C-alpha cells in the first residue's frame, strides 16, 4: 500500500480522505491556498504545502503547483477528491507522466466521459438508453433553437463539460431560449473553459437516480446499487438517499447492468457514478430511464452508498489505485437498511438559495449515531472563494421511515449561527409529505418553494424566550443576579425593561418583568407569557412555560441573537438607527452586491428607464452567476461599477430614482 499520498483538494472531501488514509496507516499531505492557511484539512493532515492565492485558478486548479507540492513532499500518489481537477484528463496524464499514481480512472476514461455530447454518443453505441436531444458539434444559436423546437419545450440547455449544475438552464418557451443560452454559455465558459452546450428534452416529472460503479485494473466491474438524488435546487442535490424509494428488483437490475455496460465501454477503473433520469409519470419502469452523464470521480453523496453496502469507498479507491483487485464480487454485495444524506450550506433559501459568507461563530452537531462529514469548525469563515458547504449529515437505519425520522432529528439538533444557512429548509424538506411518502422528483422543491423556504417567524413562546436574554435577564457572567441584570433597584413596582425584537416577520415590542427569583412575565400588547427559569448557563436554558418544561439554546452576537428552539432556528437582529436613516435618505433605491464577486455584465447605462424585476447586473460569486434585478420602476441615476470590476459585499452598484423625479 502507498506510504504517503497528496490530496489535491480542500474542505470536507479532503478531511474525509485523510480519515480513511489514517486508518490504513497512510501519511497524508494537504495543499492549501492563502484563504485556507488555518483550515481544518490542513490541521488534520500529517503535513501541508502552500500552493498559492485564494483564487482557485491560482491554487487548487493549478496543475503545476499541485504536482510541485507532491514532488516536494515525496508523495507517491495524488487523490483529487471531487471538483477542481478531479475530472481533468490533462491533470491525470501529468500525474502519471511525473511518475506518480493518479487515484482515479485513466486519462482516456475521463476524456471519454468528460464531454457530455461525446459520452451520450458512446453510450448509444454501448446499448445504454439516452435522453432524447441534440448532442452535436454545431453550436450556432439559431440552429440550436431550431433543434429545441424539434425536441419540444420544455428543454434543458446543458454545458457539455463539467457538472454541479453549472451552465444549465431550463427553458419553457421559445422566446426565452436566446437569453438562457447566453447565460448557460457564459457560466460554462467561466466554470469549465468550454462554452459548448447540448439540448435535451426536459422531463416534466423526472427522478434523478444514479448508480455507483467500481472497476479495477484486472477487468472486474461491479455496481453498488442506486442512490436517489431527486431533491435538487438550481440543479444541485440537497438530500440524497439509498436505496431509491419504490425501486423494483427488475428496474434495479436493468439500471445496474446498464451502468456496468457504460463502465466497461470505457475500460473504467476506480470509483464512478452513472447518472440516469427516470420518467416517473407512470411510476418507475425499467423501460423509462435514460443516461445523463457519468461522473468519473467519487461523488459528494457517496456516504449513503457506504452505509447501505457496508463498505469504505475511499479505501476501495486507494486499494484499486495500488493495483489490488476489487474487494468484493457482485454476488458478495447487498443492501442493508436505508440511508439519507443532507447537505448543510451557508446560503439563504428565502433569497433564492443565495450563497452567503460569514463566520461560523457557533457550530454544534448532534451526538450519537449520526455521521458528520465536514471541513469546517466553529470559528471558521465561509469565504466567497469556494463552495459554501458547511457539512453533510448522514444517517442509517433499518427502514426508510426510521432513517428519515433519524435525519429530521439530527437536523433539528444541529446548531449553526453567525451566518445564514439552509438548516430550517432542510428540516421542513425532510418532513414534506410527498417526500415522506417516498415520491420525490426533481421539481418538488420548486413546487413547494414558498412553504419550504419561508424564513422562520417566531411564535409567542419563542419571542418570550428571546426577550429575556435580550433584556438582560440571563446575564452572561456566572452567578450574576437576573434582577440586577434587568436594571437598577426600584422603590415602587416590579423591575422591568422594554424590549424590541427584530425578526423575519418584522418587529415585536414587549416588556420583560421580573416577578421573583428566576420568574418572569413577558408581555406583548395584550398578551403575557409566564416563564420560570429552571436552569441556565452561558448559551442554553431550561424553563417552564404553561406547564411545559422546555429547553432552548441561544447565541449572542454584537448585531443580534440566534435562538435554537423546538427544532427551529430564529434570527433576531438589533436595529441600527443610522442604517435606517441612511436607507430612508436614499429611498431604498440602491442595488447592492449581496457578496463579494466579479461584475460580469452591466445591462444598463445611466439615464436608462427600468422596470421592477428587470435584470440590471450579472455578477459571479461562489462558483455561480447571480442576476441582480431592479427593486422598483425608475431611472438609473448613477452607475458605480463596470464589467470586470471586483466588488465587495454590500457595495452600492447603482442607484435609481423615480422616473418623474428631476
Instruction: Give the residue numbers annotated as catalytic, written as ranges.
Output: 297
Closest by Cα among 628, 640, 635 to 660: 635
- Find all residues with CB under 8 Å of 123, minimum gap 6, and list them: 130, 262, 265, 291
Distance CA 562, CA 555 (A): 5
C-alpha 322/C-alpha 85 separation (Å) is: 20
Characterize the bridge pairing of strands 101-102 and 133-134: unpaired
Plot region of 390 (φ>0 → left; ψ -120 to 50 → alpha; else → beta)? alpha
Coil, strand or helix at 609: strand
Contact 330, 306 (CB under 8 A): no
Q: Tell me the CA distances in angstroms from 409 to 28, 393, 566, one per residue in order.
A: 34, 11, 11
Nearest partner of 473 among 464, 482, 481, 465, judged by Cα: 482
Give the H or E element holding residue 627: strand 624-629
How far does Cα 480 stand from its chain's mean position? 42
C-alpha distance from residue 578 to each of 571, 581, 583, 584, 587 (Å) = 21, 5, 9, 10, 14
- How many angstroms separate the CA atoms of 274 and 128, rounded? 11
Contacts of 411 (CB under 8 A, 6+ apart): 342, 393, 423, 426, 427, 430, 567
Please enumerate in sequence order all residues whose Cβ is within 8 A of that of 140, keeping only pairs 6 or more positions apart, or say none. none
What is the C-alpha R_g of the chain?
Answer: 27
How many residues comprise the chain? 662
Helices and strands: H and E segment counts in the chain: 19, 39
The secondary structure element, H or E, covering residue 427 is helix 423-430
Amino acid at each position: 500500500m502507498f506510504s504517503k499520498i497528496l490530496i489535491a483538494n480542500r474542505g470536507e472531501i479532503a478531511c474525509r480522505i485523510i480519515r480513511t488514509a489514517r486508518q490504513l496507516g497512510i501519511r497524508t499531505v494537504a495543499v492549501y491556498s492563502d484563504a485556507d492557511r488555518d483550515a481544518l484539512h490542513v490541521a488534520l493532515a500529517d503535513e501541508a504545502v502552500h500552493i498559492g492565492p485564494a483564487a482557485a485558478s491560482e491554487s487548487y486548479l493549478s496543475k503545476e503547483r499541485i504536482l510541485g507540492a507532491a514532488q516536494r513532499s515525496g508523495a507517491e500518489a495524488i487523490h483529487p477528491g471531487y471538483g477542481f481537477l478531479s475530472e481533468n484528463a490533462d491533470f491525470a496524464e501529468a500525474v502519471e507522466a511525473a511518475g506518480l499514481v493518479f487515484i482515479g480512472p485513466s486519462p482516456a476514461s475521463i476524456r471519454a466521459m468528460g464531454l457530455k455530447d461525446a459520452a451520450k454518443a458512446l453510450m448509444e453505441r454501448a446499448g445504454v438508453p439516452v435522453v432524447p436531444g441534440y448532442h452535436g458539434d454545431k453550436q450556432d444559436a439559431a440552429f440550436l433553437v431550431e433543434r429545441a423546437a424539434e425536441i419540444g419545450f420544455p428543454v434543458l440547455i446543458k454545458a457539455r463539460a463539467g457538472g454541479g449544475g453549472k451552465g444549465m438552464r431550463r427553458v419553457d418557451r421559445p422566446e426565452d431560449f436566446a437569453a438562457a443560452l447566453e447565460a448557460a454559455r457564459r457560466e460554462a465558459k467561466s466554470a469549465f473553459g468550454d462554452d459548448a452546450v447540448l439540448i435535451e428534452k426536459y422531463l416534466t416529472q423526472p427522478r434523478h437516480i444514479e448508480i455507483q460503479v467500481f472497476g479495477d485494473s484486472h477487468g472486474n466491474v461491479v455496481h453498488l446499487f442506486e442512490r436517489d438524488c431527486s431533491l435538487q435546487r438550481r440543479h444541485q442535490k440537497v438530500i440524497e438517499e439509498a436505496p431509491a424509494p419504490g425501486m423494483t428488483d427488475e428496474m434495479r437490475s436493468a439500471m445496474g447492468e446498464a451502468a456496468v455496460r457504460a463502465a466497461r465501454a470505457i475500460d473504467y477503473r476506480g470509483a464512478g457514478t452513472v447518472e440516469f433520469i427516470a420518467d416517473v409519470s407512470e411510476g418507475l419502469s425499467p423501460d423509462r430511464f435514460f443516461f445523463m452523464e457519468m461522473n468519473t470521480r467519487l461523488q459528494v453523496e457517496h456516504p449513503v452508498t457506504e452505509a447501505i453496502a457496508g463498505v469504505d469507498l475511499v479505501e476501495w479507491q486507494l486499494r484499486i489505485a495500488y493495483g489490488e483487485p476489487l474487494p468484493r464480487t457482485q454476488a458478495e454485495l447487498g443492501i442493508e437498511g436505508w440511508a439519507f444524506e443532507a447537505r448543510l450550506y451557508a446560503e439563504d433559501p428565502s433569497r433564492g438559495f443565495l450563497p452567503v459568507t460569514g463566520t461560523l461563530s457557533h457550530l454544534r452537531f448532534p451526538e450519537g449515531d449520526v455521521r458528520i462529514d465536514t471541513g469546517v469548525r466553529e470559528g471558521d469563515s465561509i469565504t466567497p472563494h469556494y463552495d459554501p458547504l458547511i457539512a453533510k449529515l448522514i444517517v442509517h437505519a433499518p427502514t426508510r421511515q426510521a432513517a428519515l425520522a433519524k435525519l429530521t432529528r439530527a437536523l433539528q439538533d444541529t446548531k449553526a449561527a453567525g451566518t445564514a444557512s439552509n438548516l430550517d429548509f432542510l428540516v421542513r424538506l425532510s418532513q414534506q409529505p410527498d417526500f415522506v411518502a417516498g415520491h420525490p422528483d426533481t421539481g418538488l422543491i420548486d413546487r413547494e418553494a414558498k412553504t419550504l423556504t419561508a424564513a422562520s417567524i417566531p411564535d409567542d413562546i419563542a419571542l418570550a424566550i428571546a426577550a429575556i436574554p435580550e433584556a438582560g435577564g440571563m446575564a452572561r457572567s456566572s452567578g450574576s443576579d437576573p434582577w440586577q441584570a434587568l436594571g437598577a433597584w426600584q422603590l415602587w413596582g416590579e423591575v422591568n425593561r422594554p424590549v424590541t425584537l427584530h425578526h423575519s416577520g418584522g418587529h415585536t415590542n414587549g416588556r420583560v418583568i421580573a416577578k421573583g427569583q428566576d420568574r418572569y412575565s413577558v408581555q406583548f400588547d395584550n398578551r403575557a407569557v409566564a416563564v420560570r427559569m429552571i436552569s441556565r448557563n452561558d448559551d442554553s436554558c431550561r424553563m417552564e412555560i404553561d406547564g411545559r418544561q422546555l429547553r432552548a439554546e441561544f447565541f449572542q452576537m454584537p448585531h443580534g441573537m440566534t435562538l435554537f428552539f423546538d427544532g427551529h432556528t430564529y434570527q433576531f437582529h438589533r436595529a441600527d438607527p443610522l442604517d435606517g436613516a441612511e436607507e430612508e435618505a436614499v429611498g431604498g433605491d440602491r442595488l447592492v452586491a449581496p457578496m463579494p464577486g466579479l461584475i460580469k455584465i452591466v445591462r444598463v447605462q445611466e439615464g436608462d428607464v427600468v422596470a421592477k424585476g428587470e435584470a440590471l447586473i450579472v455578477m459571479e460569486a461562489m462558483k455561480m452567476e447571480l442576476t441582480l434585478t431592479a427593486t422598483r420602476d425608475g431611472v438609473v441615476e448613477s452607475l458605480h461599477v463596470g464589467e470586470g470590476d471586483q466588488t465587495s459585499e454590500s457595495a452600492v452598484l447603482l442607484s435609481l430614482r423615480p422616473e418623474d423625479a428631476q
